[in-house]
Amino acid sequence: MKETGKDVGAPSRSCKAPVRLSAGVALLLCCLFHAPLVHAANGGVDSMPAPVSGAARLNQPIAVYNNWSAYDELSDNIELTEQLAMKQLGEILRLRRAGVRIDYYVMDAFWYSPTGGYREFRKPNWPNGPDGWLEACLTNGIKPGLWVASNVPFRVEPLPEWHSSLDATSSAMCFFDGGFLPQFIETMQFWYDRGVRMFKFDFANFSIATPDAAKRMSKQEIFQRNCDALRVALMEFRKKNPEVILAAFNGFGGDTQSEGTFAPVRTGEDLRWLQAFDSLYCGDPRLADVPAKNFWRSMDFYTDHMVRYFEACGVPLERIDNTGFMVGVAGTCYARRTEAWQGMLLLEHARGGWMNVYYGNLELLDHAKARWFAKVQDMYFKLQSLGRTYSFGHLPGQGEPYGFCSLDARGSLYTVINPAQAVRRVKLHKVNQFQRPLTGGRIQFRDAGFGPKLSGDELTLGPEQLGVVGYGEYAGGKYDLGVQEDVVIPQDIQPLQADFVRDGTNAMAASLVTPARGDVRIVMRQSAEGKPVRTSRGAPPNGTTLDKILQIHVLQEGRAVPVEIHYDKAIWSGLSWGVGEVKGRDLKAGVPMTVRCMSLEARPVELKIELYLVHYGQ
């Protein structure tokens, strides 16, 4: 095994108590919340100011089930029905008996009638309306929640009360002009009075103005007036209905989501939304621009990167909804079912957010999985509640090690990821001056294959590997989470030299002598003008799988050699890379082999190809 000497950097700045904030961020938060700074004896800022009255008030971690990806009417053709929704409620109750905590059940998009203005459930999918679902939730101590499309009438006809707020194209409603917003708030009250305690806001568009307002105001003024109108209305709604939880999704920031993990951090997020919403989400699960042999690990990289992006913009970690856990059969989660689900669940909690949301087909989690799920919740919810989670290391999109650390007075848990195609040594820095020296630690979880090595405060991880290390109380055996058997990390990886040359439009090829032993990993990246290019040919069920677009071929003695890939999926969000492996058993050692990579992307792209020799045995 070859071990490099690269270490990750120090912990990143966090916006959470009791971490010291930079003066600029502290001042910004004070301006937002109209409250004085609280200074520590050493001159730092020890806590965030208290929000103004009416501001968001989620004050502890919660567990939310959302049924999206158990159905999917956008990137798949599985419809939401009453039968499906009630089945998932039954699964919630089964998981709770195994110790899993679920506090809320959110009904996602398309529950509503297209003519009911969000006050009627859709027929014939809900022949009995919502009464059975609402009553069953409340009887079992589960708080119901509803998805709403903000001011974009997504598959719903504008009500007469909304017409005075429509723009010139009748495509969306203005928040600050006309009758839409007052009627919309009344609709929220209608559902709150029936027991709904959470609203998920999606597809907001703050550029919308009525024709009259569009003539009188600048685009900037329209945008700001819309934001102010909705924010004030929601804060007033909170005052009247103190139990409500409000979650912000598309349209409320994080507009670099579609740019992937290449986009630089731009500090332009409007933190005033934290006054109205309990959480801001950082993007639907999709693939990072960091290649990974394990397809699902690249999705971990993406969500980790977006969490770090929002944190760098000043959003406290506990207020970031990372939307990081989806098990299911639908296109939204690329039909992953429960592949690599343990690492996904760990990261959902390790990132420190208080809005812990679990999406999808809960029947996929059997009793053994449910017990493991409950154990993770029990470990991390206590740590989350203290608001003492810190990020450290590189930005995930840079392809170098990083992680998250949560701690209390008894010890700490480090969740560490190595995105590199190399073995990396990671220094686990103490995250504040009061933390005891990092000695006596224990590896509590890892991917299969490569055996991580822990020496004091240094952890050695294999390529693409995730590991969890406990110190203090959390080094005890009762916190052992085992091994993720369906993610296998090679024991050794070495670069292979090969000179790739252009071999047609958007194609590169190279020949090399086949190594004596081991498998050959092929990593292809697609870019243009220095930026990754994401390719998509549609979503399931009719989309084209990406292996037909980003192609990897290996030839030896005139015959095609099998290439193992995991990205043979129709990917609605696009993909900028392909990774495959050729098994040594399918190659003749010492005989030349040719690797040819090509892209069917319509525009000219640059392909960068890297080869690695990997060994999975001892």
Asked whether the predicted pLDDT for residue 2 surpasses 50, the reply is no
Q: Residue 289: pLDDT band by 50, 70, 90 thresholds?
A: very high
Same domain, 366 and 425: no
Q: Find the domain containing 311 and state its range.
A: 62-386
| Residue-level pLDDT at 430 | 78
Q: What is the dihedral of CA 418, 421, 424, 430, to 10 degrees?
A: -20
Give the number of other CB atoms < 10 A from CB of residue 122: 20
**What is the structure's pLDDT at 189?**
98
Structure confidence at residue 53 (pLDDT) = 38
Compute the distance between CA of residue 416 and CA of residue 407 in angstroms, rounded to an integer: 14
Among residues 348, 371, 386, the one where a domain terminates is 386
Cα–Cα distance list, 617 to 216, 323, 448, 461, 486 (Å):
71, 36, 12, 16, 16
Are 174 and 262 in a shared domain? yes
Domain CATH code at residue 449:
2.60.40.1180
Q: How far is CA 433 from the centre of its chain?
A: 30
Phi/psi region, residue 467 (left: phi>0; alpha: psi -120 to 50; beta: rest), is beta
Percent of the chain with pLDDT over 70: 88
Question: Can you tell me the distance from the alpha carbon of 208 to that of 166, in angstroms, rounded to the nearest whole number?
Answer: 8
Whether 25 is in a domain gets the answer: no
Question: How far is residue 34's CA from residue 179's CA, in Å, rounded to a whole number?
Answer: 31
Distances (CA, A) of 6 to 54, 493, 533, 588: 48, 16, 29, 35
Same domain, 283 and 409: no
Q: Which residue has the tokens 């409620």?
A: 89
- Indicate the pLDDT class of residue 431, thresholds 50, 70 and 90: confident
Average pLDDT of the segment spanning 552-574 = 96
Mean pLDDT, the chain, as a whole number? 89
Indicate if 485 and 516 belong to the same structural domain. Answer: no
Considering only residues 10 and 347, tell me which one the structure prediction assigns the higher pLDDT.
Answer: 347
41 found inside a domain = no
Q: Which tens digit of pLDDT belongs to each residue from 95-152? A: 999 999 999 999 999 999 999 999 999 999 999 999 999 999 999 999 999 999 999 9
Q: What share of the chain is helix, strand, coil (3-state, %, to 5)?
A: 25, 25, 45
DSSP H helices, 17-110, are: 23-33, 82-97
Q: Say what the pLDDT of residue 11 is.
A: 47
- Distance separating alpha carbons of residues 353 and 350, to the nearest angstrom: 8
- The predicted pLDDT at position 434 comes to 59
User: Same structural domain for residues 408 and 552?
Assistant: no
Note whether 288 and 303 are within 8 A (CB).
no
Separation CA 591–CA 34 (nearest Å): 72
pLDDT for 390 beyond 90: yes
**Domain termination site, one of 462, 489, 516:** 489
> Does the model's pTM come out above 0.85?
yes
Question: pLDDT tens, 248-274?
Answer: 999 997 655 556 777 777 666 789 999
Can you tell me the distance from the alpha carbon of 109 to that of 74, in angstroms, rounded to the nearest whole number? 10
159 and 102 in one domain?
yes
pLDDT(394) > 90: yes
| Confidence at 71, pLDDT banded by 50, 70, 90 | very high
Q: What per-residue confidence (pLDDT) applies to 536?
A: 93
Same domain, 361 and 434: no
- Tell which residue, 263, 299, 243, has the closest CA to residue 69: 299
Question: Above 50 in pLDDT, residue 48?
Answer: no
Q: What is the mean pLDDT of residues 174-181?
A: 98
| Per-residue pLDDT at 25 exceeds 70 | no
Q: What is the mean pLDDT of residues 279-307?
A: 94
- Domain-embedded: residue 33: no
Q: Which two tokens stand for residue 77?
A: 């053709």
Contacts of 160 (CB under 8 A, 6+ apart): none
Residue 532 has pLDDT above 60, yes or no: yes
Based on the fold, state whether residues 96 and 192 are members of the same structural domain: yes
Q: What is the pLDDT of residue 618?
A: 61
| pLDDT value of residue 54 | 42
Mean pLDDT of 429-451: 86
Residues 329 and 191 in one domain: yes
Question: Distance between CA atoms of 604 and 247, rounded to whole angstroms?
Answer: 40
473-507 pLDDT, tens per residue? 999 999 999 999 999 999 999 999 999 999 999 99
Identify whether residues 537 and 428 lie together within a single domain: no
Tokens encoding 455 = 């020496």
The CATH number of the domain holding residue 171 is: 3.20.20.70
- 37, pLDDT greater than 60: no
Q: How much is the pLDDT for 249?
A: 94
Q: Does any domain span residue 342?
A: yes
**pLDDT of amino acid 44:** 28
Q: Would you state the pLDDT for residue 539?
A: 87
User: Between residues 324 and 9, which one has the greater pLDDT?
Assistant: 324
Average pLDDT, stretch 42-58? 40
Question: What is the pLDDT, as a whole number, of residue 47?
Answer: 32
Residue 290 lies in a domain: yes
For residue 417, pLDDT beyond 50: yes
Residue 472 has pLDDT above 50, yes or no: yes
Position 63 scores a pLDDT of: 98
Distance CA 159, CA 118 (A): 10
114 assigned to some structural domain? yes
Task: Compute the distance between CA of residue 285 and CA of residue 363 in angstroms, rounded to an integer.
Answer: 21
- pLDDT tens, position by position, 197-224: 999 999 999 999 999 999 999 999 999 9
Q: Are residues 279 and 410 in the same domain?
A: no
In the predicted structure, residue 36 carries a pLDDT above the cut 50: no
Residue 23 pLDDT class (50, 70, 90 cuts): very low
- End of a domain among 489, 518, 542? 489
Chain-centre distance for alpha carbon 597: 30
Instruction: For residue 50, tell me if it sits in a domain.
Output: no
Q: Does some domain include residue 307?
A: yes
CATH of the domain at 582: 2.60.120
Total structural domains within the chain: 3
Which strand (E) or helix (H) includes residue 486? strand 482-489
Average pLDDT (385-396) is 93
Please check whether residues 254 and 377 belong to one and the same domain. Answer: yes
